[in-house]
Amino acid sequence: MNEKEVYKRLEAVFHDVFDDDSIRLTAKTTADDIEDWDSMEHINLIGAVEDEFGLRFKMGEVSGMKNVGEMVGIIMKRGK
């Protein structure tokens, strides 16, 4: 799986979780860039990403992610 494929799959997850097909992800995308991305939706998002990529984030990874690029990096290292 290459980075482009990860972004494509991740973007589909974001579209589903936030019910917004206009979302376009970049490495620098943060919760500030997506209107409905609050703490409750963050939990839903993490679960959906874990399901999509067949992995479980560690608590430190979740709390330490500053942007989508860091999430992609973790997925690239550990995802399917």
> 3-36: per-residue pLDDT in tens?
999 999 999 999 999 999 999 999 999 999 999 9
- Which tokens go with 34? 């997506």
Share of the chain above pLDDT 90, in %: 91
Would you say 79 and 57 are in contact if contact means Cβ atoms under 8 Å apart? Answer: no
* Ranges of each domain in the chain: 3-78
CATH 2.60.120.1360 fits 3-78, yes or no: no
DSSP calls for 24-56: ---TT--GGGSTT--HHHHHHHHHHHHHHHT--
End-to-end, the C-alpha distance of the chain in Å comes to 7
Q: What is the pTM of this model?
A: 0.92
